[in-house]
Chain A
Amino acid sequence: ETGVTQTPRHLVMGMTNKKSLKCEQHLGHNAMYWYKQSAKKPLELMFVYSLEERVENNSVPSRFSPECPNSSHLFLHLHTLQPEDSALYLCASSLEAGAWGQETQYFGPGTRLLVL
C-alpha cells in the first residue's frame, strides 16, 4: 500500500456516459497528479494540482475535467469519451510539485477504463 487509493478499479462506459474517477491520498502531500497509461507508451501526464490549484494542464481534451476539492482528494470527470481513451488512469501525489527534494511521486493502483 502506497497511501494513495483510487476508485473504481475497473470501469466500462459508453461514449455517451458521464463518470468520475476518484483518488485519495493519506500521505499529507500537497500535490496530486493524473496520468494516462496506454500500452507500450510512456506515462502521459495529464494534470497537476498543487495546494488545490491546477498548475499543469498538459493539452488534455476537454472531455476530461479534473477537480481537486482539497489536498487529499482528486477527481477526474469523464464525459463523451472515445474508444481511444481506454487506458489505465493513474493518480499520484507528492509533498510538493516541482520543489527540489519534495517531488517524489507515489502512485495509486489505477483505474482500468474501457470505453465502448
Chain B
Amino acid sequence: GESVGLHLPTLSVQEGDNSIINCAYSNSASDYFIWYKQESGKGPQFIIDIRSNMDKRQGQRVTVLLNKTVKHLSLQIAATQPGDSAVYFCAENGGATNKLIFGTGTLLAVQP
C-alpha cells in the first residue's frame, strides 16, 4: 500500500550543526513532495516543497533533496538553531490526487 515513512523518529543535534532528516516514500506516481514543521501546540507549517522534475531545491537555510531512483527525500537544515526544534513531516501527493500522504514525523531536538 501507499506509505511515507521516516528513518529516524528522533534526531538530536548541537546548535550550529547541520541537520539531515530523511524520508522514504513508496508511491512511484507521487510527483510532488512537501516538508512541514510542527512545533508543540501548533499546526504543521509549510517549509519547502519539490516537484519530481527537480532533484534539489534550496530555501533559506533549508535544502530538500529528491532521489526518485530509491524513492528517498531528505531535508537539510544548515546551522541548526534552537527554534528549529520541532517535529518534521514529509508528505507526498500520491500522483495528483486529492490527498497528501504524511509520514509519522521526526522529532528534531536542538541542544544548546
Contact = CB atoms under 8 A, between A and B. Distances in A.
Nearest to A55: B98
B90 to A, nearest CB: 10
Nearest to A43: B102
Contact of B104 (A41, A55, A104, A110): A41
Given A42-B4, A43-B89, A100-B31, A107 B98 contact: no
A103 B43 contact: no
A9 B31 CA distance: 34
A107 B102 CA distance: 13
Given A103-B93, A109-B43, A45 B104 contact: no
Interface in A89-111: 90, 92, 97-100, 103-110
Interface string B31-47: 11010100001111110
Nearest to B34: A104
A76 interface: no
Contact of B43 (A90, A98, A104): A90
A110 B34 contact: no
Contacts, number: 61
Contact of A56 (B89, B99, B101, B102): B99
Interface of B: 4, 31-32, 34, 36, 41-46, 49, 89, 91, 93, 96-105
Pairs of residues from A and B, 4 with the lowest C-beta to C-beta distance, nearest first: A107-B43, A43-B102, A98-B98, A42-B102
A2 B44 CA distance: 10
A90 B36 CA distance: 14
B102 A48 contact: no
A48 B45 contact: no
30 contacts: A2-B43, A2-B45, A2-B46, A6-B43, A31-B98, A41-B104, A42-B101, A42-B102, A42-B103, A42-B104, A43-B89, A43-B91, A45-B99, A45-B100, A56-B99, A98-B98, A98-B99, A99-B96, A100-B31, A103-B96, A104-B46, A105-B34, A105-B46, A106-B46, A107-B36, A107-B43, A107-B45, A109-B41, A109-B42, A109-B43
